[in-house]
Amino acid sequence: MARKKMIALLKKGTCIGLAAIILSAAALPSAALSVHAEDATTSVSSENTTPDSEGVTTPTPENTDTDTETDTAESLPADTEASGETTPGSSGSAAINDQNATSKASSSVRAQEIYPTEISLLKKNLELTAGDKAVLKVNGYSGNATNKEVTWSSSDPSVASVDPNTGEVTAVGEGTAVITATCVGKNEGQAAPASDSCTVKVLGISDVYKYTTSGNSVTITDYLGTGGDIVIPSTIAGKPVTALGPMSFWVDDNITSVVIPEGVTTIGKQAFNGDDNLAKITLPSTLKTIGQRAFYGTAITEITIPEGVTTLSNEAFNSCDQLSKVTLPSTLVSIGANAFSRCTSLKELTLPDNITSVGTNAFKSVGKLWVKNGSKTEAALDRAGIEYLSQVTVTVTTEFYNRDGSLSDVKGGTSTYIRKEGASFNVSTAIYNRGWILESETVTGMEDTNPNLYKAEGIIGKEDVTVKYVWREDNIGPEGTSDKIPDQYQIQVSYDVENGTWNDGTSETIGQVLTLTDENGTPTDKGTVKVEAPEVGNAPADGYTAGSWSPDLKDTFTIADDGAQFVYSYAEKTEDPGTTDPEKPGTTPPGAGTNTGNQNPAPFSTPTSTKAASKKSGSVKTSDTSNAALAAGLLLLSGSAIAGIEMKKRKKAEEN
What are the φ/ψ torsions at residue 26 (nearest 5 degrees)?
A: -65, -30
33 with 47: CB under 8 angstroms? no
Nearest to 236 by CA among 250, 248, 251: 248
* Cα torsion 261, 262, 264, 267: sign: positive
**H or E element at residue 457:** strand 455-460
**H or E element at residue 413:** strand 413-420
Pairing type for strands 266-267 and 348-350 reads: unpaired
Query: Percentage of the chain with pLDDT > 70?
Result: 68
Is the pLDDT confidence value at 580 over 50? no
Neighbours of 455 (CB within 10 A): 17
Residues 461-477, mean pLDDT to the nearest whole number: 79
- Cα–Cα dist 71/407, whole Å: 127
b vs e for 618-648, b when ≥16 Cβ sit within 10 Å of the residue's Cβ? ebeeeeeeeeeeeeeeeeeeeeeeeeeeeee
Residues 452-464, mean pLDDT to the nearest whole number: 73
236 with 218: CB under 8 angstroms? yes
- Global pTM reads 0.45
Residues 79-101, mean pLDDT to the nearest whole number: 39
Cα 640 → chain centroid: 99
Per-chain mean pLDDT for the chain: 75
Nearest to 623 by CA among 580, 567, 575: 567
Does the bond joining 116 to the residue before it have cis omega, within 30 degrees of 0? no
Residue 351's pLDDT is what? 94
Is the pLDDT confidence value at 612 over 60? no
Collapsing DSSP to helix, strand or coil, 644 comes out as helix
Is the pLDDT confidence value at 427 over 80? no
Collapsing DSSP to helix, strand or coil, 625 comes out as helix
Neighbours of 469 (CB within 10 A): 25
DSSP code of residue 28 = S
Collapsing DSSP to helix, strand or coil, 291 comes out as coil
Residue 389's pLDDT is what? 85
- Cα–Cα dist 535/596, whole Å: 7
- Cα–Cα dist 115/56, whole Å: 11
- Cα–Cα dist 80/29, whole Å: 9
Q: What is the pLDDT of residues 292-320, one digit of tens each?
A: 999 999 999 999 999 999 999 999 999 99
Q: How confident is the model at residue 137 (pLDDT cuts 50, 70, 90)?
A: very high
Q: What is the pLDDT of residues 18-38, one digit of tens each?
A: 333 333 444 433 333 233 333
Collapsing DSSP to helix, strand or coil, 143 comes out as coil
Collapsing DSSP to helix, strand or coil, 170 comes out as strand
Is the pLDDT confidence value at 222 over 70? yes
224 with 208: CB under 8 angstroms? yes
* Cα torsion 444, 447, 449, 455: sign: negative
Collapsing DSSP to helix, strand or coil, 228 comes out as strand
Neighbours of 435 (CB within 10 A): 13
Residues 145-152, mean pLDDT to the nearest whole number: 94
Is the pLDDT confidence value at 497 over 50? yes
Neighbours of 374 (CB within 10 A): 11
Q: What number of helices (H) and strands (E) belong to the chain?
A: 8, 41
Is the pLDDT confidence value at 382 over 80? yes
Q: How confident is the model at residue 430 (pLDDT cuts 50, 70, 90)?
A: low
- Cα–Cα dist 541/261, whole Å: 74
Most confident of the ranges 20-29, 442-451, 539-548: 539-548
Q: How confident is the model at residue 432 (pLDDT cuts 50, 70, 90)?
A: low
Neighbours of 105 (CB within 10 A): 10
Q: How confident is the model at residue 166 (pLDDT cuts 50, 70, 90)?
A: very high
Residue 366's pLDDT is what? 94
- Cα–Cα dist 2/545, whole Å: 169
Residues 190-219, mean pLDDT to the nearest whole number: 92
